[in-house]
Amino acid sequence: MKQRPRRNRRSDTIRRMIKETQLSVNDLVYPLFLVPGEKVKDQIISLPIAYRMSIDTILKEIAECIKLGLNQFILFPSIPEVDKDTTATYSYQDNNFYLTAAKTIKSKYPKVCLISDVAMDPYSSDGHDGLVRDGHILNDESLPILAKMAVAQAQSGFDIIAPSDMMDGRVAYIRNALDEAGYSHIGIMSYTAKYASAFYGPFRDALDSAPKAGDKKTYQMDPANSREALLEGDLDVAEGADFIMVKPAIHYLDIISKCKRRYNTPIAAYHVSGECAQLLAASRLGWLDYDSAMPEAVLSIKRAGADIIITYFAKEVANLLSHGKV
Ligand code: PBG
């Protein structure tokens, strides 16, 4: 045998030398769930690594992350039921607790990058990402609401706006609204290929944001499709998206890979709640070794082509990286 691939696996040092993919703390984005109140740190039962936190608790969490070199966060609000309505008005209400929290975080830690989801579901009494009429999710009528939400978020100091609603034309509409309001410097991370996935369960538990009726299949993509992701991507790039996101990540590594080849924007991937929960559950049952399985899962997302990985494990990976363990 002239070729013996095992020669390059012979020692730890050689293996390190030929490593094609290396996780970095700069790749990671840490999702945080915000609730009103004080001193709240409420564990999410179906995702026991994550918590609903009040702003004081979140500030402590962010401080710990910064110490580990982790400076990128995506925030989600858990809105009290009384503040939800059919048109998601709370989402752009002046001084709502979510927008106020962003201002507080940015004034205390100006260097952090804060990303915000844009979709109606956490604020909607219907629990859908767009406006509901007679059981239908209206596309064009949802766009002005999403645009108002995006502008309010930019005003509050968010650095990147991440439309996650999958309405057609929303990237162009939001881009235009941001530009007109003087926020041409604020980027858009589009949830480009967001699938109608069962793996969002724990997230919906965290925000109590599950649809009250029906499902999200008329706007989120069919898990069976991959060419359609490229149709979405072509549109998003043409409409001005600064980042292309694939979601979920682990079950859609092929889509990440295809997007990486086709687009010159950075590619983000969302390692979603259910994917993280699956790994946690098996580890807690003693069926998987968490310390090696968790970083392997996150690494696979980068190897597939993601430049940015949104994961509930971000802080733990940052911790492992700081100890040279991954
Ligand atoms: C809101 C939104 C969802 C997630 C991110 N933004 C849920 C959904 O579309 O139902 C899921 C994230 C996760 O599961 O971790 N549109």
For residue 186, what is the domain's CATH number?
A: 3.20.20.70
Active-site residue (options: 148, 247, 258, 260): 247
- pLDDT at site 95: 84
Q: What residues pair up with 290 in beta bridges, in sequence order?
A: none
Cα 11 from chain centre = 37
Q: Is residue 292 part of a domain?
A: yes
Q: Is residue 8 part of a domain?
A: no
| Residue 91 DSSP code | G
Pocket around ligand 1 at a 6 A CB cut-off: 117, 119, 121, 129, 164, 200, 203-204, 216, 272-273
- pLDDT at site 267: 98
Total domains in the chain come to 1
Question: How far is ligand 1, taken at its centre, from the CA of residue 178, in Å?
Answer: 23
CA-CA distance, 134 to 143, in Å (whole number)? 18
E strands, the chain, are 28-34, 41-44, 47-53, 72-77, 113-118, 131-133, 136-138, 160-163, 187-194, 243-247, 267-271, 308-311
Q: Is residue 85 part of a domain?
A: yes
Q: Which residues of the chain have pLDDT under 50?
A: none
247 is annotated as an active-site residue: yes
Contact 59, 104 (CB under 8 A): yes
Active-site residue (options: 194, 216, 258, 315): 194
> How many CB atoms are located within 10 Å of the residue 216 CB?
22
Domain of 100 in residue numbering reads as: 22-322
Question: How far is ligand 1, taken at its centre, from the CA of residue 168, in Å?
Answer: 17
Q: Is residue 146 part of a domain?
A: yes
Residue the block writes with tokens 């190897």 = 303
CA-CA distance, 75 to 147, in Å (whole number)? 18
- pLDDT at site 125: 96
| 3 state DSSP class of 111 | coil
Q: Which residues contact 312 (CB under 8 A, 6 or more apart)?
A: 30, 31, 47, 49, 50, 271, 273, 276
- Tell me the whole-structure pTM to 2 decimals: 0.97
106 is annotated as an active-site residue: no
Straight-line distance from the first to the last Cα atom of the chain, in angstroms, rounded to the nearest whole number: 33
Torsion sign across C-alpha atoms 275, 51, 285, 300: positive
Question: How far is ligand 1, taken at its centre, from the CA of residue 3, in Å?
Answer: 47
Helix residue spans in 191-289 (DSSP H): 201-207, 227-239, 253-262, 273-284
CA-CA distance, 33 to 51, in Å (whole number)? 7
Q: Is residue 17 part of a domain?
A: no
